[in-house]
Amino acid sequence: MKKTFVALVERTDLWDPSKEAHEQPGFADHAGYMGALEEEGFIAMAGLLAESEDVLFVFLADSREEVLDRLAKDPWQQSGRAKLTRLEEGHFRIGAPAGAASG
């Protein structure tokens, strides 16, 4: 059974705050890559945090290393436009994503 991991990703100085996400360089490649991860069930949930504009991800993976490896292949991570700042295994008791082990 997969484990649940929670990650925070922040935008870096390469992010142009005057532009929407879809207007940032490399958006199509980033969206395609992340969409494929969602489609296969690796990304269970993701969304923008309103106050910080960081992105919160919930991943279903076999290990922390798998999350690190797959996030490192995101075009925005590779270009330095986004940066993983925190990654932890989560043990959800209520509303756990389908396919996740409960803690």
How does pLDDT run across 58-79, given as a tens digit for each residue? 999 999 999 999 999 999 999 9
Tokens of 59: 């991943």
Residue 16 lies in a domain: yes
Residue 22 lies in a domain: yes
Query: pLDDT (tens digit, 9 = 90+) per residue, 13-71?
Result: 999 999 999 999 999 999 999 999 999 999 999 999 999 989 999 999 999 999 999 99
In what helix (H) or strand (E) does residue 59 lie, and over which residues does it extend? strand 55-61
Cα separation, 30 vs 82, in Å, equals: 10
Residue 97 lies in a domain: no
Residue 13 lies in a domain: yes
Cα separation, 64 vs 29, in Å, equals: 24
Number of domains, the chain? 1
Whichever domain contains 76, its CATH number is: 3.30.70.1060
User: By residue range, what is the domain housing residue 25?
Assistant: 3-90
pTM: 0.89
State the residue for tokens 């925070």. 8
The DSSP letter of residue 22 is G
